Structure 1
Amino acid sequence: MESLHDAALAESARITVTRVLNIKPGERALIVTNPSFDVFTISQYLYNALTEAGASAVMLVQPRKSQLDFAEEAVLAALASEPDAVLSISAGKIGKDRKGIAEPYTRGRESYTHIFDYLLYGKKSIRSVWSPSITLPIFSETVALDYDELRNTCLRLKALLDRAESVFITNAAGTRFKTSLKNRLGQSDDGDFTLPGSGGNLPAGEVFISPVVGASSGTIVFDGSISSHKGEIIIKEPVFAEVADGYVTDLSGGPEAAEVEESLRLAAEKAFQFEKAGNIPAGKAELYAKNARNIGEVGIGLNPKARIIGNMLVDEKVTRTCHIAIGHNYEDDAPALIHLDGLVKNPTMELTYEDGSKQTIMDQGNLLV
């Protein structure tokens, strides 16, 4: 591949390959990207770094995909070949797996609607980084981190979330939200994706958990940025989300709230269209539609180089924030066609443990652990 001359991009690519993924000579690596300038350029730098590390690298280019689009069959076939490492460097998403949605892959008692998730979380035969909507500035500015410090912070927070029965989140904008975490395990996006079965975002820097389905209530005031079917929005007028029994029952605010509400409506409609076309199992459309309003994630941003820029890949990593997602969760017990993250700035987060004791892990945006 042609010579590339940006030193910062080359260094971020080198760190990704050698530190984050620890690619070894002879390993097979698959890059999936789009013809959009930024992600295609980043992919070229990664391809060069992979070959310099001695990997056998392949780069596939498919049209840009949204949360509701299907991946190209060639991409799914390449994933099914089980490369050692998969790098999804996409302007949007990698795309849904038509076959997997209709006939989920199984591993033991677990089922997966995408070949990628099956190989990563079920079979644990690949390791991966994924960077939806990454840009050249994000890649050059937020990948070079003190990964040892980040991993230690992630380990401490994950251990606390694993023990917690619930979390109560407040902020000055009016958030008062409680959700159950009982028997749920946190996940760590710490940039250590060196072993099969490990993977996460690049840039890294968050700990997150999927709340118990049906066990969230209160008011969330999104005041940082938020995802919609059209992309990310930097919030000017706060979005108020009322939550009862685990689902968003009302959204209010300005144009941002209206756009998110439209996203939830479209996701519910799409579920019935998918069922009619045979793209989700028969009889599941109502469940998918309902879960478009599910509380699917609570996460904490930990990347000191991240800033709110209207790109959720980096926004959700911003320190002094937490994010709460509406839609599909990471336990795969609330399937939906969307996953929309929203930022809450300067939150106070209080955990409650099984013995009734409480611990504040963040106070008005200041991390305490």
Structure 2
Amino acid sequence: MEKQEYNACETLIHVCAKCKKDEKILIVTDPDSLHIAQALWKAAAEFPNRSLIMMPTQTMHGQEPTALVVAAMLEADVIFRPTKFSISSTEAKRNACKNGARDLNCSDYDERMLKSGGLYVDFEAQEENVTKMSKLIEGDDVVITSPAGTYFTANITDRKSFPQYGRSVVAGQTSSPPDIECAIGANVGTANGIVFIDGSIPHPRLGLITEPIRLEIKNSRIVKIDGGEQAKILSEILAEYDNPSVYHIGEIGVGMNPACELTGRMLEDEGCAGTIHFGIGDDRVFGGNNACPIHLDAVFKNPTMSVNGNIILQDGKLNLK
């Protein structure tokens, strides 16, 4: 393993998880991400109670893992999850955290992410800004625009923010390093507008967006998808589920990691400073109750966002005063 890759794994183990010598550390992986899991395994050589378990590669974010993985997660103190598709929006993860596990989502990692980018930020130094944003993003009415033509509104009354520091250092905490963000859920039926996705949709068939995808949203549901070839692909992906719940818009997330760049990889893209992403599908992590077999993030660039008329993001730049 190269020194940079080892350093990134050391950051995950010692900074993002603060693993203790006697803790039960579980690495959950699949064939597509085994090389990342092996790097973590080697970097965690000093921890005698570490275990690695592999399941088949899944087909979409949000699918439940196998029964043996579920059982192992319930026994772990710390869980690292280098898998191709994320299992963050699953009962398995929620129950493991309820049981006290510190959970770190490492889905869709590649070797480049271990060598440069968001994992090389000073995680602790970013906490103050995320905490400020977690207060500013709460309120009643949200308005989001972008130079591409986005105009989106939603109500968030009584919704609590979900700050993501990229670290899981207390029991029950979950994170997705290098994703540093602050998100909030829109109240059901209140999200409306036109959104132009011009950043990325981290899915094997999409990735970086080359031609903006126009989403028409009514009553928190995508009712129309327009654009070029990638818009057709997104339509196909959602239609394959034959489930109206997959068109739901629940999560509004603000990327806050200045070291991240848009790459088509989910955890880099979600955390990329200067972007907003909407979570399509399952929103239970964000205080909603839309249960479905998919959670897909759609990222757009240079947004302006106001809450109760207070601008907290101006053309992609944070305004945390």
What TM-score do you get using the length of structure 1 for normalisation?
A: 0.81
The reply to whether residue 365 of structure 1 matches residue 316 of structure 2 is yes
* Post-superposition CA distance 1:271-308 (Å, at most 9, x none): xxxxxxxxxxxxxxxxxx22211112111111112111
AA aligned opposite 2:129: T
Quick one: distance in 2 between partners of 1:203 and 1:307? 11
Report 1:221-240 matches (<5 A).
221-228=196-203, 230-240=204-214
SS of residue paired to 2:239: helix
Matches within 5 A, 1:320-331: 320-329=274-283, 330=285, 331=287
Q: Which residue does the alignment assign to 1:243?
A: 217
2:8 & 2:24 partners in 1: Cα distance? 20
Which position in structure 1 is the counterpart of 2:177? 202
SS where residue 23 of structure 1 aligns? Answer: coil
2:289 pairs with 1:333 = yes
Deviations 1:315-358 (A, max 9, x none): 12111111112111122411122112111110110111xxxxx2
SS of the residue 2:137 aligns to: helix
Contact (CA 8 Å) 2:137, 2:161: kept in 1 or not? Answer: yes
Q: Aligned AA for 1:44? A: Q
Q: Percentage identity across aligned positions? A: 26
Q: Which residue does the alignment assign to 1:61?
A: 54
Out of 18, 24, 48, which is 1:28 matched to?
24
**Using the alignment, how far apart are the partners of 2:85 and 2:16 within structure 1?**
22
Partner residue of 1:343 out of 286, 295, 299? 299
- Map 1:157-176; keep pairs closer than 5 Å: 157-162=133-138, 164-176=139-151
Structure of higher CA gyration radius: 1
Aligned-residue RMSD, C-alpha: 1.8
Q: CA deviation at 1:43?
A: 1.6
Query: Shift in Å at residue 59 of structure 1?
Result: 0.6
* Counterpart code for 2:158: N
Task: For residue 146 of structure 1, report the CA deviation from its aligned partner.
Answer: 1.2
TM-score (normalizing by structure 2): 0.93
Count matched residues. 316
**Aligned equivalent of 1:214:** 189
Residue 268 of structure 2, aligned match among 304, 310, 314? 314
Q: 1:72 to 1:95 in 2, by over 3 A?
A: farther
Answer 1 or 2: higher relative contact order, Cα 8 Å, separation at least 6.
Answer: 2
Partner of 2:115: 140
- 1:90-120 deviation digits (Å, cap 9, x = unpaired): 1223499xxxxxxxxxxxxxxxx61221221
Structure 1 portions without partners, runs of 5+: 97-112, 270-288, 353-357
After superposition, give the CA deviation of every residue in 1:8-57 in whole Å (9 maximum; x if it has no partner): 11111111111111111110010011223xx32222222233232x3510
- 1:18 aligns to what? 14
CA offsets, 1:174-218, max 9 Å, x none? 100001111111112212311111111121311111111111111
Instruction: Give distance in 2, aligned partners of 1:79 and 1:338.
Output: 21
Q: Is the 8 A contact 1:65 1:94 kept in 2?
A: no
Task: Give the equivalent residue in structure 2 for 1:280.
Answer: none
State the SS of the aligned residue for 1:209: strand
Residue 236 of structure 1: how far off its partner (Å): 1.6
Structure 2: distance between partners of 1:323 and 1:301: 8
Letter in 1 for 2:21: P
Shift in Å at residue 233 of structure 1?
2.5
Q: Which residue of 2 aligns with 1:116?
A: 93
Instruction: Specify the code of the residue in structure 1 equivalent to 2:100.
Output: S
Map 1:74-85; keep pairs closer than 5 Å.
74-80=68-74, 82-85=75-78
CA contact (8 A) 1:151 1:192 kept: no
Amino acid aligned to 1:236? T
Q: Which residue of 1 aligns with 2:125?
A: 149
- Match of 2:12, SS? helix
| 1:191 aligned onto 2:166 | yes
Deviates more, 1:198-207 or 1:23-32: 198-207
Residue 178 of structure 2 aligns with an amino acid whose one-letter code is: P
Gaps of 5+ in 2: none
3-state SS, counterpart of residue 313 of structure 1? helix
Q: Quick one: which amino acid aligns to residue 94 of structure 2? A: D
- 1:9 partnered with 2:5: yes
Contact 2:179 2:270 (8 Å CA) reproduced: no
Is this contact kept in 1: 2:263–2:269, CA < 8 A?
yes
Structure 1 residue 69: deviation in Å? 5.1
